[in-house]
Chains A and B, each alone.
Chain A
Amino acid sequence: MSVKVGIPRALLYYYYYPLWKDFFESLGCEVVLSDKSNKGILDSGIKNTVDEACLPVKLAFGHVKNLADKPVDYIFIPRLVSVAYKEYICPKFLGFPDMARQNIVGLPAVIDTTISFMRKRHNVDQAYKQLGKKFSGNPIKVRQAYHKGLRALAKYNQLLLKGHLPEEAMSIMYDRSAKASQVKPCGDLNIAIIGHPYNIYDPYISMNIIKRLQSMGVVVVTPDHLSEDEVRHQAGRLPKKLFWTLGQRMIGAGYHYAESEDIDGIIHIAAFGCGPDSMTGELIERNIRGSTKLPFLNLTLDEHTGEAGVITRLEAFLDMVRWKNSPKKQFIS
């Protein structure tokens, strides 16, 4: 029987799952995902974390717990220190494996490999080499697995760049029954949603915001539809380099979409009490309000956010955008 490695459907799952999946599978492991986010998962996460933790961390705790109950042989909770040279994600990612280990009872073995691009790329290859040793004594096989993972990741990123959302991209890659080329949603408005991947793509905690907007006739774009170069180029306009990789994506996308002709509005989604969001959100909002007339909506998510309230705000926002877009100039003259 093959070894079961559990991967939580949370945090940077939305960025790295294809890499992790192909890597572990090439080494003969069976990859087990936690269930899709739901009330039960969030509630168990809330029960197992401190009140002050942000929503995504609480949810991630729930996913880890969900895997622990499955059961699996290992849970993969890498310590994601840094995913780009001299940058970080958030202090909470640095401590997450310890937080989980100290608080969730009955955890199977935790794989908490440290992934850090802080100094140089080389360290990451090393990390996967170390990690692979657990499952194969053959270094060549491990290297092949890593490269296979990287190829899967490259393909995934290509799909995102083509305008697919993470869930779609993954089903294109892994779900044989899904149609290879899905029809792109169309609508009369283009709205950019700016936020952490684990907030905007998780259908449960985002209250399905993307699907909801699509059904209201909106074409949704996100930071992940922009190339790394573009995002970094835009973020380079900041007076000082931002040391959060995800913050760079958000600022860069905010600046890009604020300037692009065919964007009708921007929605910024932040988790309640999120440290980085409090800074990047402020900078994005000041930029948009200062230099454009683009409609901007700030949505804060936490476990008490009511769905009804969010829908009302979205509808009001879209009404406002549509009203602004209407040919009012003719009307005035």
Chain B
Amino acid sequence: MKVTFPHMGYLYVCVKGLLEYLDIEVILPPPTSKRTLTLGTKYGPEFACMPLKLNLGNMIEASELGADTLIMIGGCGPCRFGYYAQVEYAILKDLGYHYNMVVLEPPDKHISELTTRIRKITGNKSWVQVIKAIRFAYQKSRAVDEVELMSFKIRPRELVLGETDRALAKAIKEIDNAASPQQLQLALLRSKDIMNSVAIDPNRPVIKIALIGEIYTLLDPFSNLNIERHLGRLGVEVDRSIYLSEWINDHLFMGLLKGIRSTKEYCQSAAPFLNHFVGGHGLETIGSVSVYAKRGYHGAIQLFPFTCMPEIVAQSILPKVGDALAMPVMTLIVDEHSGEAGMITRLEAFVDLLTRKREFKAN
């Protein structure tokens, strides 16, 4: 059995960690590339959201490398994500890619549906071991988040252009290579050292922008055209409304782990602008604006893939929220035609606006 799963930013670090901890052979899809997107666009439904197309491309490319078992997460609506796996499976089958697909999702009738599916991958490993592996994966996601957070602070202050990105790549590699919780502890220390070794100017004034919106485009640098890097280079310190570990805790552990960031606060802050959940992270998108305004952020950028339903609901309400809170908000929609050059121009204009606004306030 050669197991694969689609990419979403650094998600692979923790899922690979989980599977390898259980001695399962993993075949990672090649890093998402133009080819991945081209494949997904060619074979996916025209109006599917981009994550579906990228998933599909990942799956085709992993199959080419010999993967035969596919893990997907599912859901029960109302947004499309909950039916991704079934549509992707139908397309792959027609194309002649034969996968054994295991969909992990809230069970329809009984919890045993889920456990049988997990068993398909873990075989005769004991549940204790499975739980240990899950914990290990979660620790990896925390570690990844920690170094990413460091990069957000360091990048706008770096003295040598591109230094932060090189350090981040190395730091992630350290975490990725750790094969046990003990190794991971040491790896995290090394990763932090790597990040801290980037030379910075701590006194440089920065603009603070919150990145909010749809989870996949927020977490996946390929699909968001490296927005964090570009903003950093424009002297912007960013924060993201969603982190991997948070999402795992909120959605997979049902918020079991206390005391870590959660998106609950965002949901609670969405009224009176949006008074009901709308699937995906639409409610969080609306609520996060007021949370970030309170935290002193200068602006927010909403990111989502073309045709994303929950985010379109949010998008149509966001300007009102921004006005009410005096927080400039910009919306960026990505699809297979988006280019980095066009986005950079828009980012520059937005950062300019925020800078002028801040100077105006200071005078």
Which residues of A are interface residues toward B (Cβ below 8 A)?
49-50, 52-53, 79, 81, 86-92, 94-95, 97-99, 102-103, 114, 238-244, 270, 272-279, 281-283, 286, 290
23 pairs, A vs B, C-beta closer than 8 Å: A50-B312, A50-B315, A79-B276, A87-B77, A89-B78, A91-B313, A92-B278, A95-B276, A95-B314, A98-B274, A98-B313, A99-B316, A99-B317, A240-B74, A240-B83, A243-B77, A243-B82, A244-B77, A244-B78, A270-B47, A273-B47, A278-B307, A279-B45
The answer to whether A283 and B313 touch (CB under 8 A), given A95-B276, A272-B47, A278-B46, is no
Closest CB of chain B to A36's CB: distance in Å?
A: 25
The answer to whether A239 and B87 touch (CB under 8 A), given A88-B77, A274-B47, A281-B45, is no
Closest CB of chain B to A50's CB: distance in Å?
A: 5
**Which residue on chain B has the smallest CB distance to residue A103?**
B316
Q: Which residue in A114, A241, A243, A286 is a CB contact (below 8 Å) of B78?
A: A243
Q: What residues of chain B lie closer than 8 Å to A91, measured between beta carbons?
A: 78-79, 278-280, 282, 309-310, 313
Q: Which residue in B78, B89, B306 is a CB contact (below 8 Å) of A94?
A: B78
Taken together as a complex, chains A and B put the C-alpha atoms of A279 and B83 apart, in Å, by 8
Assess whether B49 is in contact with A275, with CB atoms less than 8 Å apart.
yes
Assess whether A52 is in contact with B47, with CB atoms less than 8 Å apart.
no
Interface string of B304-326 (1 = CB under 8 A from A): 00111110111111001000000
Q: What residues of chain B lie closer than 8 Å to A272, measured between beta carbons?
A: 47
Chain A, interface SS category: mixed
Interface size class of B (residues with CB under 8 A): 35 or more
Assess whether B276 is in contact with A94, with CB atoms less than 8 Å apart.
yes
Taken together as a complex, chains A and B put the C-alpha atoms of A278 and B86 apart, in Å, by 13
| B6-62 residues at the A interface, CB under 8 angstroms | 45-49
Tell me whether B333 is interfacial, beta carbon within 8 Å.
yes
Taken together as a complex, chains A and B put the C-alpha atoms of A244 and B310 apart, in Å, by 15
Tell me whether B127 is interfacial, beta carbon within 8 Å.
no
Closest CB of chain A to B310's CB: distance in Å?
A: 5
Q: What residues of chain B lie closer than 8 Å to A241, measured between beta carbons?
A: 108
Taken together as a complex, chains A and B put the C-alpha atoms of A275 and B48 apart, in Å, by 7
Closest CB of chain B to A153's CB: distance in Å?
A: 24
Tell me whether B275 is interfacial, beta carbon within 8 Å.
yes
Tell me whether B94 is interfacial, beta carbon within 8 Å.
yes
Taken together as a complex, chains A and B put the C-alpha atoms of A275 and B76 apart, in Å, by 15
Q: What residues of chain A lie closer than 8 Å to B275, measured between beta carbons?
A: 97-98
Q: Which residue in A98, A273, A279, A282 is a CB contact (below 8 Å) of B276?
A: A98
Closest CB of chain B to A47's CB: distance in Å?
A: 13
Q: Which residue in B86, B276, B317, B320 is a CB contact (below 8 Å) of A240?
A: B86
Q: What residues of chain A lie closer than 8 Å to B83, measured between beta carbons?
A: 240, 242-243, 279
Assess whether A278 is in contact with B45, with CB atoms less than 8 Å apart.
yes
Assess whether B77 is in contact with A273, with CB atoms less than 8 Å apart.
no
Assess whether B79 is in contact with A95, with CB atoms less than 8 Å apart.
no
Taken together as a complex, chains A and B put the C-alpha atoms of A97 and B272 apart, in Å, by 12
Taken together as a complex, chains A and B put the C-alpha atoms of A91 and B307 apart, in Å, by 12
Tell me whether B261 is interfacial, beta carbon within 8 Å.
no
| B70-85 residues at the A interface, CB under 8 angstroms | 74, 76-80, 82-83, 85
Assess whether B78 is in contact with A90, with CB atoms less than 8 Å apart.
yes
Assess whether A92 is in contact with B90, with CB atoms less than 8 Å apart.
no
Q: What residues of chain A lie closer than 8 Å to B316, measured between beta carbons?
A: 49-50, 53, 99, 102-103
The answer to whether A282 and B87 touch (CB under 8 A), given A273-B307, A275-B309, is yes
Q: Which residue in B74, B78, B94 is a CB contact (below 8 Å) of A88?
A: B78
Assess whether B80 is in contact with A279, with CB atoms less than 8 Å apart.
yes
**Which residue on chain B has the smallest CB distance to residue A271?**
B47
Interface string of B142-179 (1 = CB under 8 A from A): 00000000000000000000000000000000000000
Q: What residues of chain B lie closer than 8 Å to A290, measured between beta carbons?
A: 94
Assess whether B307 is in contact with A243, with CB atoms less than 8 Å apart.
no
The answer to whether A278 and B48 touch (CB under 8 A), given A88-B78, A94-B78, A95-B278, is yes
